[in-house]
Copies of this chain bind each other. A is one copy, B any other.
Amino acid sequence: MLREVARRAGVSHNAPYRHFADRGALLAALAGEGFRELGERLRQSAPEAMGEAYVAFALAHPQRFRLMFGGLVPLASDPALATASRQAYEALLQAFRDRGDIGDPAAAAAAAWSLVHGLAHLLLDGHFRQATREGTDAARFVREVLGAVRFVGAAPKRA
């Protein structure tokens, strides 16, 4: 894989070593690029459209998405990764705080992220192939799924 990129770049194997410490560093750099672009896309979206934008990014760049979230590049391996991810989450959290009608904005933001993240993953893995084949396109399916949940408004009742 490392030698492969060198070959495609028309350059000798381990020329990459002049630019990256090792294979992991290359992948971490690619993942970081992905996080930055995803964050940009989300920031350009209206709060209600963030979910669709998130899934659209994953479907448009499957390999990149898998690299970012596949566990191959641990978040801790590069502090920049962690902060990029944290910043995206903070933006989402702030959007929920701004709504004002949410009981537990932190839990709601985490749930929203989980929802779109899981949907993206399951779509990539083909687990919804049956559901998306009969319908027209994936975007419509995504809208239907995201439309099936509401975030609770009342303060969470203590058990």
Q: Interface on A for B, CB 8 Å cutoff? A: 66, 69-71, 74-76, 85-86, 89, 103-104, 106-108, 110-111, 113-122, 124-131, 141, 144-152, 156
- A127 lies within 8 A of B71 (CB): no
- B127 lies within 8 A of A85 (CB): yes
- A104 lies within 8 A of B144 (CB): yes
- B75 lies within 8 A of A145 (CB): no
Known: A69-B125, A71-B70, A110-B131. A148 touches B104 (CB 8 A): yes
Task: Determine the chain B residues whose CB is within 8 A of the CB of A108 once the complex forms.
Answer: 148-149
Known: A110-B141, A117-B122. 20 other contacts (CB 8 A): A69-B121, A71-B124, A71-B125, A74-B126, A75-B127, A107-B148, A108-B148, A110-B128, A111-B119, A111-B146, A114-B115, A114-B116, A115-B115, A116-B118, A118-B120, A121-B121, A144-B156, A149-B149, A149-B150, A149-B151
Task: Determine the chain B residues whose CB is within 8 A of the CB of A152 once the complex forms.
Answer: 147-150
Task: Determine the chain B residues whose CB is within 8 A of the CB of A146 once the complex forms.
Answer: 111
